[in-house]
């Protein structure tokens, strides 16, 4: 998928920035819908071997960058659950050295919100005192999780979710419209949405969610008994988060404001280590009072 299709407005804006040679040295791309693709496209523009403002996408540099294999492009992502201080400190050597292919260097830090505070502070100097022809792209789905000192020193670019495009791509990949609509709300990544839709647990779990909501409308007692079916499918942390997100979307479709509020509260309880089953009980028991 080309970035011009995913975020046409941002591509147009950055085309003007490239034409005027006013690309800043540090950006924070907020919102996961196409932020990595745009960072790659800008990296291609920076290193492209074909004369012109925009990347040709065909030269050696553009092709290597598309694969993440270009020597002067440095991709940083979490090592386990976080981006560690050692990973960021290693970048100081990158900034101090000459580039292998040119004088330019590009750093793309994925899931920048997962930087350890010490790692974020280590990055500050490179942002505050940038080396010439060095560019940093920080990517996050939620800018509120980024340290204020980082936010204040970068240009923040918001990436709106292009829901109609997102939904159409999912449907072109054989995903049912009802599933596609829900998946658009669950993730900002088209690839992740397609992978999720192709798993047996998601299809099974979605059907159980529909049944659960139906029971909550007709008979909360039966809904309470049905909780074991949900916990059987949504049996780990990642899947349990999906369940809460699905319930919120389904309640939203039904315009059940009270149930949406209770599901948000149950999610917060779960995030604070209250047992998953107890959190689901809370939703059902409270719904009896609606």
The mean pLDDT of the chain is: 90
**Residue 199 — φ and ψ, nearest 5°?**
-85, 145
Q: Is the model's pLDDT at 192 over the cut of 90?
A: no
pLDDT at 33: 86
Q: Is the model's pLDDT at 6 over the cut of 90?
A: no
pLDDT band at 244 (very low <50, low <70, confident <90, very high): very high
pLDDT in tens, 214-240: 999 898 889 999 999 999 999 999 999
pLDDT at 214: 94
Q: Is the model's pLDDT at 288 over the cut of 50?
A: no
Query: Cβ distance 284 to 224 under 8 Å?
Result: yes
> What's the average model confidence in pLDDT over 48-55?
93
Token couple for 98: 């000459």
Tell the CATH topology of 3-160.
Answer: Rossmann fold (3.40.50)
**Greater model confidence, 16 or 91:** 16
Question: Who's near 185: CB < 8 A, 6+ residues apart?
Answer: 245, 249
> What's the average model confidence in pLDDT over 10-21?
95
Query: Cβ distance 169 to 190 under 8 Å?
Result: yes
pLDDT in tens, 94-132: 777 777 888 899 999 999 999 988 998 888 888 887 777
Question: Who's near 270: CB < 8 A, 6+ residues apart?
Answer: 240, 244, 276, 279
pLDDT at 1: 64
Sign of CA dihedral 53, 34, 142, 119: negative
Q: Is the model's pLDDT at 287 over the cut of 80?
A: no
Residue 49 and residue 101: Cα distance in Å, rounded?
Answer: 11
Domain with CATH 3.40.50.300 in the chain: 3-160
Query: Cβ distance 6 to 34 under 8 Å?
Result: yes
Q: Is the model's pLDDT at 290 over the cut of 60?
A: no
pTM of the model: 0.74
Residue 244 and residue 194: Cα distance in Å, rounded?
Answer: 19
Share of the chain above pLDDT 70, in %: 98
pLDDT at 86: 92
Run of H or E including 231: helix 220-233
> What's the average model confidence in pLDDT over 267-289?
85
- The bridge status of strand 134-140 relative to strand 26-30 is parallel
């Amino acid at each position: 998928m080309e970035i011009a299709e995913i975020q046409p407005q941002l591509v147009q804006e950055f085309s003007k920035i490239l034409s005027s040679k006013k690309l800043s040295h540090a950006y924070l791309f907020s919102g996961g819908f196409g932020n990595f693709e745009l960072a790659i496209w800008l990296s291609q523009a920076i290193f492209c071997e074909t004369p012109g403002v925009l990347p040709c996408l065909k030269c050696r540099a553009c092709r290597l960058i598309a694969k993440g294999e270009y020597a002067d492009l440095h991709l940083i992502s979490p090592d386990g659950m976080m981006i560690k201080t050692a990973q960021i400190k290693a970048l100081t050597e990158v900034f101090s050295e000459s580039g292998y292919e040119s004088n330019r260097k590009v750093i793309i830090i994925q899931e920048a919100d997962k930087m350890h505070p010490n790692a974020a502070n280590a990055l500050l100097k490179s942002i505050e005192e940038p080396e010439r022809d060095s560019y940093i792209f920080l990517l996050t789905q939620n800018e509120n999780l980024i340290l204020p000192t980082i936010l204040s020193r970068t240009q923040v670019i918001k990436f709106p979710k292009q829901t109609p495009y997102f939904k159409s791509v999912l449907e072109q990949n054989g995903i049912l419209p009802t599933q596609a609509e829900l998946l658009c709300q669950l993730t900002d990544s088209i690839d992740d949405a397609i992978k999720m839709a192709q798993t047996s647990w998601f299809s099974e779990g979605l059907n159980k969610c529909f049944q659960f909501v139906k029971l909550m409308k007709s008979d909360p007692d039966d809904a309470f008994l049905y909780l074991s079916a949900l916990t059987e499918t949504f049996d780990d942390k990642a899947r349990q988060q999906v369940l809460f997100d699905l319930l919120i979307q389904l309640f939203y479709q039904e315009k059940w404001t009270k149930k949406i509020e209770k599901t948000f509260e149950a999610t917060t309880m779960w995030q604070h280590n209250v047992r998953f089953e107890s959190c689901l009980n809370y939703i059902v028991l409270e719904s009896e009072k609606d």
